[in-house]
Structure 1
Amino acid sequence: MRPHAPAVAADIEGTLIRRGDPGYEDARTGQVWNEVTPRRFPAFLVRAATEADVVHAVTWARDRGLRVSIRSGGHNWSGSPLRDGGLLLDLSGLRQCGIAPAQGTGPPAAMVGPAVTGQDLVAALTPQDLAFPVGHCPTVAVGGFLLSGGLGWNSRAWGASCADVREIRAVTADGRTVTCSDTEHPDLFWAARGAGPGFCAAVTGFRLALHPHPASILTTGLTFPLADAARVTEWAEPIARRLPPYVETAFVLAALGPPTASAPPGPRITVSATAFAASDREARRALEPFADCPFGECAVTRRLPAPVSFAGLHEGAAAIWPPAHRYAADTLWSPESHTSQLTRIADAVARAPSGKSLVLSPVQPVSQDPALLRNMAFAPLGASYLVCYAVWDDPADDQDNARWLRDAVAAVDPRGDGAHYIAETDLETDPARARRSYTPATWDRLQEIKTQWDPENLFHSYLAP
């Protein structure tokens, strides 16, 4: 392939690196935020600087029979963009971010590149008193996040983040640049809102509908020993489901919490609630039920309702998912309650080989309003949802932590036939992992759209074992 490389290098403003070039290994490992870097080796890496670069790279790869994988930037636990051979198209240079005023009765819009992160959007929108359901972790880029559906801040009220995608620009397998929306190429637009890493084109831009910034954001929380998981969830889950949709409630099961005045270090369960309200009074009223825990005296820590910003929420999340660590993750949608699922997985959390590992389980993580689930491949697939993270720092512990993750998920999905969320599921566990992230009808339609738009299978689809 080396003799052909200069042809694309001459056409692009960005960077081309071939396997064997100086700097290749740093570039390859830099494609994965996770410190666990899969041993998969693209033949070429192209870091696009412009949309035209994407067109040139896709066309060049197609003409030479090279398959294409895509990375937007930010997180990817499984290193899905790294594939053997072929061309890895790195879109992390496409970070344009502009705000367009409202037109008529419609909301203001943001025009963003796929590499714009949640913290980038917050920094651009907050001064203009605007907001968007950005990902919980600040360094998540919108490209993969929105393509997978997007479970963002305040999604219980605003809907999956992809519900606010009004238009995309994409480079297709035949080298065309197309605009997709409800009315233009609606099939590709539907797939772009949920297909995740199996999407059959390279998205170079999104037009996002925006929301007025909440007048008040308040957060509160209670932390208990993990041994109290059953009574904590039995008490808090019904409350969370009755609260207004602008209150986001989540359980966090941590393998090791710090010592407090009333408890030694040990595994913990935290119930946290954040209100995104129209006034401070409304936010405080919504959070009042969390002040009346009948066994509140057993809490090892209590956070009284306090104001916080989106940036502050991101700071808290960044502490849960620190950089320069090794990660593995898996998800599960279930028809069962949080009480049932979290009680089952609590023992596994307490036995985690790393004290940094955790389980996150938001109650109703996304709106069930049919209007906010319209025209998208994404759908919530259960009454409860959890995502399990193995987090560690020593490569010598890789096997122990990978085994722990799979054992922990097996505790809540013993038959291995549960539903998953494509953004964070462990795709290498079994070949059906991607398929079980969708309803059967959605999966079939995604395959049909892939066949129509990418008949020669230029773009890599879902990672598999």
Structure 2
Amino acid sequence: MSRYPQVRGRARAIEGAVVRRGDPGYAKLRASMVWNELTPSRSPDVIVVAASERDVPEAVLLARASGMRIAVRAGGHSWCGSSLREGGMLIDLSGLRRYVIDPAARTAHVQPGVTGGELAARLARYGLAYATGHCESVAMGGYLLSGGLGWNSGAWGPACAGVRRVEAVTADGEVVGCDAGENADLFWAARGAGPGFFAVVTGFDLALHPLPGAVATTSYAFPLADTEEVAGHISGVSEELPAEVELTIQLATADPAVCPAAPRPPVITVSAVAFADSWEEAVRLTEPLRSCPVVARALFRRESEPASFATLSGGASSAWPAKHRFAADTLWSDDDLGALLAPLADAIAAAPSGKSSVLAPFRPASRDERLLGDMAFSVLGRSYVVPYAVWDDPGRDGANARWLREAMRRVEPLGAGHYIAEADLTAAPNRAERSYTPADWRRLREVRARYDPDGAFHSYLGPGPAPL
């Protein structure tokens, strides 16, 4: 740590831990900064584990005085480990887990380390809900900054649409409030800029929703060979479903309930989650799906099973088991979903790991332009697919990484861009830029130049020079 001899002295103003590369415990702390067992080789020079929001401006000022660029972590769920950079300072916000709920006003103030599962469970006690992520252990900080395609986003919009104000620490260490009327450009960027955001958000004010009175889940599984046909039928049905029905296709190894005998084959599964005020309404909302002629050929079906909003994420999290290695990439597309999924079905059939999958949500963000207003988050297509490579053997890292890149290569000609939260930013230099409309990308560059003219914060991770 001879590069930064002044760190130890200036760090005394920080209540939390300040751990330098080479210090005892650094290696273990560094590895814990990424949820993925596939830990990048990148190593920051200093990791600051914030004990409170007061530590954040002190950490920023320490980094600036030491000439270190800054990266930020809330929960470490970035598939490509965006928060873990080579050199500089990493500010870990995972300990900032305070939240305050105002049931009467239907608002909440949430710190970045609060997980979606924790928030959903507490909100349910008050009869309230939010568009939290499908994986309950994802922290709200990075999720909200990246847009947040979560539960019931067709009706509620991306999670960042419900952010009404943020408290942020800028590149000069100043604590500022940001909303539609104050620091409006920084507020715009905070709603979608993701891992390239050029400040540290220490708190989010959220507008909440009434808790759905009933949640009904329906699913059908079909042979993988029928992917293009099934996707075509379901695409047509999706136009008849209201925004309150979350419809998803998954290409993956059959669930044991579908095929208890091993080896289990890969299948295409169509799942629907209906959010409604009553059970009768929840069942009625998915009637177009049950009436679709193709469902008569399903290998397996579960129709209108009750669920609760607070426990949905727990079931979804099983797709991403702990202590595994992960890689993922994303693609928005305006192409026919059947044509988009057919080559990915071939890829799943040849996947080196039976735990890998492809998710394709229908209408992953609201069609209501009022919910997609003044924010950096960009909806770039009608369809959206995410191939996930999931494995647990380090000796198979190369095979699974190559599988993901090949799967994406098959469909990228049909794509219109990427979702910044789950895109593999290391795959190509333009991955981050292609996650925004050209106008939004230009505006991001302009706002960054105004709020972080010296480049104090790391820009988007990538295989080459920082693109922003």
Which aligned pairs between 1:66-465 and structure 2 lie closer than 5 A?
66-103=68-105, 108-255=106-253, 257-258=255-256, 260=259, 265-414=264-413, 418-465=416-463
TM value normalised by structure 2: 0.96
Measured at CA, do residues 334 and 295 of structure 1 come closer, stay the same or move farther in structure 2, by a change above 3 Å?
Answer: closer
- For 1:311-350, what per-residue CA distance to the aligned partner results, in whole angstroms no more than 9, with x for missing partners? 3311211110111100000000011021110112110111
Q: Distance in 2 between matches of 1:381 and 1:460?
A: 25
- Which residue matches 1:41? 43
Residue type of the alignment partner of 2:168: A
- Which residue matches 1:62? 64
- For 1:335-392, what per-residue CA distance to the aligned partner results, in whole angstroms no more than 9, with x for missing partners? 1021110112110111100000000000001102111011101121011111110000
* Contact 1:255 1:354 (C-alpha < 8 Å) held by counterparts: no
What is the SS of the residue equivalent to 1:188? helix
- For 1:9-56, what per-residue CA distance to the aligned partner results, in whole angstroms no more than 9, with x for missing partners? 311111111100111011001000000111111110000011110010
Residue type of the alignment partner of 2:10: V
Residue type of the alignment partner of 2:49: R
TM value normalised by structure 1: 0.96
Q: Distance in 2 between matches of 1:8 and 1:110?
A: 34
* Contact 1:32 1:76 (C-alpha < 8 Å) held by counterparts: yes
What is the SS of the residue equivalent to 2:388? strand
2:9 paired residue among 7, 10, 14: 7
Q: Distance in 2 between matches of 1:74 and 1:240?
A: 34
Q: Distance in 1 between matches of 2:16 and 2:164?
A: 28
* Contact 2:344 2:407 (C-alpha < 8 Å) held by counterparts: yes
Residue type of the alignment partner of 1:178: V
* Contact 1:257 1:266 (C-alpha < 8 Å) held by counterparts: no
* Contact 2:124 2:310 (C-alpha < 8 Å) held by counterparts: no
Measured at CA, do residues 367 and 295 of structure 1 come closer, stay the same or move farther in structure 2, by a change above 3 Å?
Answer: closer
Q: Distance in 1 between matches of 2:247 and 2:191?
A: 25
Unaligned 5+ runs, structure 2: 464-468
Q: Distance in 2 between matches of 1:262 and 1:178?
A: 58
* Contact 1:334 1:419 (C-alpha < 8 Å) held by counterparts: yes
Q: Distance in 2 between matches of 1:111 and 1:160?
A: 18
* Contact 1:169 1:204 (C-alpha < 8 Å) held by counterparts: yes
* Contact 2:253 2:264 (C-alpha < 8 Å) held by counterparts: no
Instruction: Report the Cα offset of residue 300 of structure 1.
Output: 2.2
How many residues of Structure 1 are paired with residues of Structure 2 in the alignment?
460
What is the SS of the residue equivalent to 1:37? coil
Residue type of the alignment partner of 1:158: W
Instruction: Report the Cα offset of residue 413 of structure 1.
Output: 1.1
Q: Distance in 1 between matches of 2:239 and 2:394?
A: 41
Q: Distance in 1 between matches of 2:86 and 2:187?
A: 29
* Contact 2:4 2:66 (C-alpha < 8 Å) held by counterparts: no
Instruction: Report the Cα offset of residue 152 of structure 1.
Output: 0.7
Name whichever of 275-284 and 260-269 sits farther off: 260-269
Instruction: Report the Cα offset of residue 8 of structure 1.
Output: 3.5
* Contact 2:241 2:288 (C-alpha < 8 Å) held by counterparts: no
Residue type of the alignment partner of 1:24: Y
* Contact 1:256 1:356 (C-alpha < 8 Å) held by counterparts: no
Name whichever of 420-429 and 292-301 sits farther off: 292-301
Unaligned 5+ runs, structure 1: none
Q: Distance in 2 between matches of 1:295 and 1:364?
A: 21
Name whichever of 434-443 and 263-272 sits farther off: 263-272
- For 1:203-229, what per-residue CA distance to the aligned partner results, in whole angstroms no more than 9, with x for missing partners? 000000000000111111001111111
Residue type of the alignment partner of 2:61: T
Measured at CA, do residues 20 and 74 of structure 1 come closer, stay the same or move farther in structure 2, by a change above 3 Å?
Answer: closer
- For 1:384-416, what per-residue CA distance to the aligned partner results, in whole angstroms no more than 9, with x for missing partners? 11111000001110111011001101111148x
Residue type of the alignment partner of 2:94: S
Q: Distance in 2 between matches of 1:263 and 1:296?
A: 25
- For 1:69-113, what per-residue CA distance to the aligned partner results, in whole angstroms no more than 9, with x for missing partners? 00011411111111111111000011111102445xxxx111000
Measured at CA, do residues 428 and 264 of structure 1 come closer, stay the same or move farther in structure 2, by a change above 3 Å?
Answer: closer
* Contact 1:257 1:267 (C-alpha < 8 Å) held by counterparts: no
What is the SS of the residue equivalent to 2:249? strand
Q: Distance in 2 between matches of 1:189 and 1:126?
A: 28
* Contact 1:256 1:355 (C-alpha < 8 Å) held by counterparts: no
* Contact 1:263 1:300 (C-alpha < 8 Å) held by counterparts: no
Q: Distance in 2 between matches of 1:263 and 1:431?
A: 41
Instruction: Report the Cα offset of residue 297 of structure 1.
Output: 4.5
* Contact 1:32 1:79 (C-alpha < 8 Å) held by counterparts: yes
* Contact 2:215 2:276 (C-alpha < 8 Å) held by counterparts: yes
